Structures are given as C-alpha cells and as structure tokens.
Structure 1
Amino acid sequence: MQSRYNETAYWDIIMKGAKLLDPAKLPTAMGRLDDFTTVEKHATKIFMEEAGYVTKENEEDYAGKLWLSQPHVAARLDIHEISWNNSGNTWFSSAEEIIFQSSGPHKASPDELGGFFGIQTAGGANRNKSIFVTLLPKDESLLSVCPIIPVQEGDMLGVFTGMIRYSENFDATYGIPGPRDKLWLDYSQVTGTLNLMRATLSDGDANVSLRWELLEEGGKQES
C-alpha cells in the first residue's frame, strides 16, 4: 500500500510540474511514439533528476546504458556495457534472419503477439509505461525493478532483452519460445532492466508477463 501511495504521489508531482512548463519552448521528444505529451516527458525527466533517479543525458541512449554508471547500480551489477540493452531486440545473425524471411509469410494472432508499443485502450489511455520503470536498491547486494507511477493490468513496461533466433537449437535455460517453430529469444549474452525481475515457475503467480510484439519497419510488419 505504501508503495502504491508513493507512485500516485510521484505522478501528481510530475503533473503539477508539467503545468509550469511552456510547450512552445520545449524541443520535440525523440524515440518511440506513445500517448505521453512532450510536456509530460520533460516534467518526468526534471522530476527524476531532482529525485535522484537515472535519466538519459541525451535522447540517443535508447539502450539505457547510463544505468550502469549509477552508483547504486554499479555497486550491485557487474555487467559490461556491450551486454546491456533496454531497446528493441536484434537478430543473433543475419543468416538466421534471412532464413526466417525466406521461409514464407509469417502471421500470428493478437493473442500470440500481445500489443504494440504505445498501445492505447478504447478510452484512449496510454499503456506504454516503460519510461517510468526504474532500478532501486533492494538491499546491500540486489536491485529492484520498480515503476515510479501506478501501473495496471495490460500496461507495457518495456523490452525483455535478448537476441532473436531462428534455430532448432533452443536453449531451455536462456531461451523464450516464440509464436512460431524455431523462432525464439536468446538472453544468454545480453540483459536489461526487465531481465532483472525475479522469475516464477511456469504455473506460478506473477504480476508481469512476457509477450512477443509486432513491430513495423519500413512499412512492413515483422514479428
């Protein structure tokens, strides 16, 4: 209850700060499209800086690698920068990508793919809450993945990092099955914020679920 109260209070503070900003004087926000306004994004950045949360020094840090320079993260996480990624997942190899693309058309149902980035409900509420997910110290050695605003069932919290594979050599330890045979996500070599969440057994209770997502690149839909 205390955590949920704090999250609600943070968002109220951010919205009050947004009212003090002049939209005409703010640069256009970069990155993935979502339903948050430029004013709300800048107000959130200001709040996070003043509250001591990690922020992107510039809009090119899509992988969120500045997390690794934060003292409380560096003290608990020993990961090389090249292995950290919070943005979109890439293919393990161009060869596997070509084989997948040449294997024929691939279509999947909404249930198999989940939603889109920036997905909105029928009422217009934004479901992409990834920019509000932060890493906080849990104790002397662990980190906790926490949103700084309230989240609801169906909200998108970010990307579970890995490399896209199209191979029969599925890794049962570091692999997540995809919506089609031989298509899977390999997270044995890279990690990110959401990868730090504690996993449950396949039949256990969890407050976060993983889904494959449909992305559009160059006017074509790919999974």
Structure 2
Amino acid sequence: MDETTRGFLAQAIRDALTSSGIDYNEGYIDSLISKVDNDSAHLLDLPVDSSSSYQADSAYTLKAMSSIFFECARVNFAIALYGHPTSGAPTTTKPDKIRKYVDEISEFDYEKAIDVIRRDNALATGKGLQNRYNETIFWKIILKGAALIDHSKLPTAKGPADGFTMAEKAATKKFMEDAGYGLGAENQRQCRIFWKNLFQMREAGIDKVLYYRTKEFDSYCKGYPKTSRISLVDAEMKWETQHRPYIEQLETRALRLAKGDLMRLSDLENPPVVERLKVHESTWNNAKNEWAFSSEEESFREKGLQTFSPELICAPYNYQLLSDTEEDKSTFTFLLPKDGSSLFACSIVPVCEGDFLGIFAGKIRFSENWSTTHGIHGPIDNLWLDYSQVTGTLNQMLVSEPGGHANVRLQWEVIHDDIGADSCTSWRVSVKATKPIMPYEPLVRVAAQQEQYVLHSSSENAKRGFLELCEAY
C-alpha cells in the first residue's frame, strides 16, 4: 500500500472510530491497516478506467474533488430558488420562539408559505456555507490568542518537534474550550493541524475549493501524508487552478437552470465555447426533442404506435438530482476546448455505466426521407432524429466510425408523464454511459453511418455545431 493511500485510510478509520465513541491509539490503527488489501479504488467503490485520458492521484482525490462539484451544484440550486437574501427568519435557539415561528408559517396561504420556506432553505444553505468557511480563519484567531499568553508560564516542549509552539498548542486548547469543541488530546491535535492548513490555503489564494468544501475534502486533508513531496497547500492550489473555471461555470449553470434555462444557453457564453462554436441560440436546445412537423406527429399517432416496452419508458427530466449515487449526471456535462479550434464534451465528475448524461439535441421525424449525415434511427420504422437544424452540448461529442470505440450510446425513451395522453407522444433521445467514465474523459459515440462520421471529422462542421450550413450563426 502506498503512503498516500495509507494516510487516507488511516484517517477514514480514525473518523469511524471517533464517530462511534471508540477509544483507540495509532498502534491499533496500524494493525487494522496491515490487514487491508492494497486497493483504495475498491475500498471506495469508485469506477476507475485505466484507459482514461485523465487520472486522479488516487480514488480519495477523485472522491474529494467530485464532492465539491456536487456541493457547488446543490448549494446554488437551493439559493437560486429564492435568490440571495441577507435576512429572514429570526435567528434563535429558544424552543418557544421556534415553535411560534413555525405556527405562524402554518397559517399563511400556500404561496406565502412556499415563499417563506424557500427563503429559509436558502438562508439555511448560506448559513451552512458560512459556518464551514469561518473555519478558514480559526487559526488566525488562535494566533492572536497565542500572542496574549505569557510564554514563561508554559511547560517545556517534550518529544519531537511537530511544527507547533507550546503557545500555539495552549491557544488552540483555549479556543476550543471557549468555542465549545471537544478537548480530547487527539481532537486537539487534529484540529490544530487542520485549521492551520485551512488558513494557509486561504492565505495562498485558494477560494472556490474552500468555499464548497465537504466532509470528503476534510478527510482528504486530515489524511494527507506529511512526508509527501508536494505540500497539502500546493496540492490544493493545483486543484483550485485546474477546477476553478468549471466550478464557476457550474455556479452559473445551476443558477440559470433553477431559473428555467433548460436550453442551457449559458453554455454558449463560456469564452472557450464562444471562440470555437458559431451557432445562434435559437438552434441550441438541451431541454427536449420536439417534433419537427405536426403533420408527422399526427401521422405517427394515426399508426396506433402508442404501446411501448418498459425499457423505453423514462421519468421526466430532473436537473436537481445531484447526489453522486444518482444516475442523472447531466448537470455536470460540459464543453471543453479540444484544441485551438474545436471542443469536446465530457463530465467533470465520475460517471458509472448507465448514467444519464443529457439529451442529444435534434427534432423527431416520422418520415421515409432519411438523412445519412444527420439522422439517428429510432426504435420504430421511419422514426428518426434529425439534428441538422438543432444542436446542443452533447452533439459536440467525439464520434468514432461505425463499429468503433465508444463510451456512450444514444437511447430513445418515452417521457413517462405523457404516456396515455391523447395530445402527443413525447420522445427523448438520451445519452447514456456504456462504461465507467473518468472526469474530463472525452465522451465518444459511434456514428450511425459512415457519412455521419465524415461530417464529424471536419473542423469547419464542428465550428457550426454540425448544423447544416444555412443554420450557422
């Protein structure tokens, strides 16, 4: 087992023992680790593809960074439902006032009650962020306390140097006592190291990663090996530099999605996309697959083809499914620059086989007039998707020749809400993962036919989103 993995595993065991109230020492932890198989990826049950173009330092690194993306999306969806209030429900810990406030809400009419609940949820989310972010300046406050201590009254340091003065140790204990933290010797040691690291990260300019930090991130930091060639602060600065642009894009996307931008027009505003993709926003649709012609929709209904196999039925699109255990990873599908003139589609979080990555843009056709360049066959004769007039994020993914390599597939589905309705049949062409996919690994589908592969091999076609020439912006 390598040193990095050993450090993270040791911290995971400490966390588990501490949360269970079990006393332990480092010797006991060492004995447990010696019995563990040398496979950290298996321990975390994370999909790891050795052929990926991107490899995280370890499964622990991958899990910690991915959790920050999930937290960023969760927070911004919650805030977007109400905005950015700076005040709201009275802050109190008195039970009678809490009960009174809840009783008042229960008497509001529906619209007002919902408004208050959304506001309070946004405020609670903001308060959680504030509490965690406060920890980044705890060490600065502790240093102020250390400066007030009379060093002549402190005991002489014993044992090997650990990077802390006796005044800093005494000040940490005093701070924890005053702030209401547990004073166990091991807890003091861990908090001392952790708060100092957080403060140093903040001073180094690490911002987004700290703002959305999670318990997975905290465990990663606490288990980071002291003997690593790269310091923890330098490692996190690398994270900040690499991932900050995508955190900022995710912030914008989450806020805009929650406000109704299901087309994801905000994707077209990202500078790398603006430079490489010239399409009009009227041709950009990541929300749904509409019928191209009402006459073809009517013709399809007249055929009586309204009975569908269970595997074709799907739930309505829900952009707020954000847990890393959910199968909907579409919120985290982005366009990144492939080179100076083109883009590729990828997920910024780990993807499992079967995960939904988004909708393949295009219009539904029911016609014998088939396009060899822009056509995707459906599950029924003459039913096909035409993406010559409409494009989207996943239409920009890489395309291999028929029979070639791919890590996603296109799947036709029927939206569950519309089954049985007389007015229309709602189809969705989903992009599903066919294997585990690592963050930033290009998404690749197989071309429906050779002519389509040729279309996607052209950089000029890529610039106009693979639309027909007349639709370019």
TM-score band w.r.t. shorter chain: 0.7 to 0.9
Give the letter for the 1:52 counterpart. Answer: E
CA RMSD of the aligned region, Å?
A: 3.4
Q: Is 1:180–2:235 an aligned residue pair?
A: no
- Structure 1 pair 4/128, CA: closer, same or farther in 2 (3 Å)? farther
- Structure 1 pair 50/177, CA: closer, same or farther in 2 (3 Å)? closer
Q: Which residue of 1 aligns with 2:54?
A: 3
Which of 68, 78, 86 matches 1:13? 68
Q: Aligned-pair distance for 1:18?
A: 8.5
- Structure 1 pair 75/49, CA: closer, same or farther in 2 (3 Å)? closer
- Structure 1 pair 95/203, CA: closer, same or farther in 2 (3 Å)? same
TM-score of the aligned structures, taking structure 1 as reference length: 0.76
Q: Is 1:89–2:322 an aligned residue pair?
A: no
Pairs within 5 Å for 1:199-210 = 199-210=399-410
TM-score of the aligned structures, taking structure 2 as reference length: 0.38
Q: Matches of 1:15 and 1:66 in 2, distance apart?
A: 19
Q: Which residue of 1 aligns with 2:326?
A: 126
Which of 336, 340, 346 matches 1:140? 340
Q: Which residue of 2 aligns with 1:51?
A: 247
- Structure 1 pair 50/104, CA: closer, same or farther in 2 (3 Å)? closer
More helix by share: 2
Q: Which residue of 1 aligns with 2:350?
A: 150
Q: Aligned-pair distance for 1:2?
A: 7.2
Q: Is 1:215–2:438 an aligned residue pair?
A: no
Q: Aligned-pair distance for 1:13?
A: 2.2
8 Å CA contact retained: 1:4, 1:150: no
Give per-residue Cα distances to partners, 1:162-214, cap 9 Å, x unaligned: 00001110111100011101111000111101100111122112011111012
- Structure 1 pair 177/218, CA: closer, same or farther in 2 (3 Å)? closer
Q: Is 1:27–2:78 an aligned residue pair?
A: no
Structure 2 SS opposite 1:212 = strand
Q: Aligned-pair distance for 1:24?
A: 9.0
Structure 1 SS opposite 2:268 = helix
Q: Matches of 2:352 and 2:384 in 1, distance apart?
A: 27
- Structure 1 pair 15/143, CA: closer, same or farther in 2 (3 Å)? closer
8 Å CA contact retained: 2:316, 2:417: no
8 Å CA contact retained: 2:336, 2:344: yes
8 Å CA contact retained: 2:345, 2:398: no
Structure 1 SS opposite 2:416 = strand
Q: Matches of 1:190 and 1:79 in 2, distance apart?
A: 10
Give the letter for the 1:13 counterpart. Answer: I
State the structure with bigger RCO (CA 8 A, min sep 6), 1 or 2.
1
Give the letter for the 2:67 counterpart. Answer: D
In structure 2, list runs of 5 or more residues that go unmatched: 1-51, 83-121, 130-210, 213-243, 319-323, 428-473
- Structure 1 pair 25/100, CA: closer, same or farther in 2 (3 Å)? closer
Q: Matches of 1:211 and 1:78 in 2, distance apart?
A: 27
Give the letter for the 1:183 counterpart. Answer: L
